[in-house]
Structure 1
Amino acid sequence: MPSHSPSNILRFAIVCICVLFTCERTTVAEELFNGKDLTGWHIDVPAQDDDPNKESPFIVRNGMLVSLGTPQGHLITDDSYENYRLVVQYRFAGKPGNCGVLVHASTPRALYKMFPKSIEVQMNHKHAGDFWCIVQDIAVPDMVKRRGPKDNWGITEGKGRRILNLTDDSENPVGEWNEMVIECFADQVKVWVNGDLVNHGTQCTASKGQIAVQAEGSEVEFRKLDLTPIKELSKDEDH
């Protein structure tokens, strides 16, 4: 029969505290892309509605997820997420151009019969970290300077949906890998590009949803899409 002496009880309490502390501090990242196939994702490409045999713009090549750029559409996670840090490592495989990662995605084809309702974190070359509001909204400091005249703000077709980032010189030269970190917590979204804080939005009208990758004209390779749950946002100077 085990002893219930004060010393044994104390040792047991210390062990329990250590276990709880370890569980609190250790969080395993989920690999959204497994390096082999598109398990956990589904494709939405409007051009395939009339031609189901049309080539998919999303493939796996040499262990990387590749967005070929055309036909345009989205690769969307099957699951929804909230309160997380998403690490994306990407590079333009050839001529640089347009692409993006969408967070808090929900209703498909909500904008221009193409884009799911979401907040887009732009990857367009030299503009990585811009926000685009896609039937969702978000606020940043200096809104007029970064979004344009207030009378034109909106979240649907023809409105001022682009919110400029804080720096356009954080990307590496074309052909080199970039790391984009996106943190979503409650109503906030923060974005770093290669260690630089490039955007921080608040008052987001969504706090959870699917994650999507775009095919929007340019070929982009992804070698990492890892998601880690978080309990608070990182400070502005780190990630």
Structure 2
Amino acid sequence: MNRRILVAALALALAGSAAAADMFNGRDFSGWELRTEPAAAIDSVFSVQPGGVIAASGSPLGFLATKASYRNYKLHVEWRWPGKTGNGGVLLHISEGPLDRVWPLSQQVQTKFGAVGDLLPMAGASFAEPLTGDKPALKAHIAPSSEKPAGEWNAADIVSRDGVIEVTVNGVLQNRISGAAPREGRIGFQLEGTPYELRAVTVTPLD
């Protein structure tokens, strides 16, 4: 292959490569829907702050979810507790099915302080690895805690490909599962009683 053809092929490959897309538009919550108990309006629970930061009130209990469905992707999420630390989670592969109280069929990546990186199959979801504990049953994170204290930003990179999910928190691999079911669906964020903030939430297709 001569130099000209090689350069052209490289240009085509770069043009076709997937790019990270912002999941929040920085203005409103178009493309998202809220499910809470009792029912609440999105704008009464989530707000857009300067710099594109998303502030969540933490209550009522429930979750914010994309209207779009995703399969085989890298999700980047940054979050912090602006006040006291608390409980929360990123929901992957939200699908139709029976609820566990207000929680949907999904895979949860735990952002609860002290348990960041734990993985929980929610409302009938499953994966191949054994669970520990009872309430809730989960697969605990595999490395020493890499989360940061209240007021500081944490970053999670979550890669989902063909039923394998890997979770890296602040640069440290914290969990890995295989055989996830469901392995595709919507993406969401839990409300579990504590205010938190989000920023730099992006998704990169891997297919």
The normalised TM-score by structure 1 is 0.78
1:118 maps to amino acid: S
- Equivalent position to 1:129, from 117, 140, 163: 117
Deviation at 1:55, TM superposition (A): 7.5
1:222 counterpart residue number: 198
| 1:115-126 equivalence runs, <5 A | 115-126=103-114
- Equivalent position to 2:60, from 68, 71, 81: 71
2:2 pairs with 1:17: no
Contact 2:95 2:182 in 1 (8 A): no
Q: Give unmatched runs, 5+ long, in structure 2.
A: none
Contact 1:99 1:124 in 2 (8 A): yes
RMSD: 2.3
The structure number with the bigger radius of gyration is: 1
2:91 pairs with 1:102: yes
2:152 counterpart residue number: 176
1:111 counterpart residue number: 100
2:46 pairs with 1:58: yes
Give the distance between the partners of 2:149 and 2:164, measured in 1 at CA. 29
Q: Which moved more, 1:66-75 or 1:193-202?
A: 66-75
- Equivalent position to 2:25, from 31, 34, 50: 34
Q: Give unmatched runs, 5+ long, in structure 1.
A: 1-8, 153-157, 232-239
Contact 1:32 1:227 in 2 (8 A): yes
- Equivalent position to 1:198, from 174, 179, 182: 174
More strand by share: 2
Deviation at 1:93, TM superposition (A): 1.1
Aligned-pair identity (%): 32
Contact 2:76 2:157 in 1 (8 A): yes
Question: What is the number of residues matched between the two proteins?
Answer: 205
Give the distance between the partners of 1:200 and 1:213, measured in 2 at CA. 20
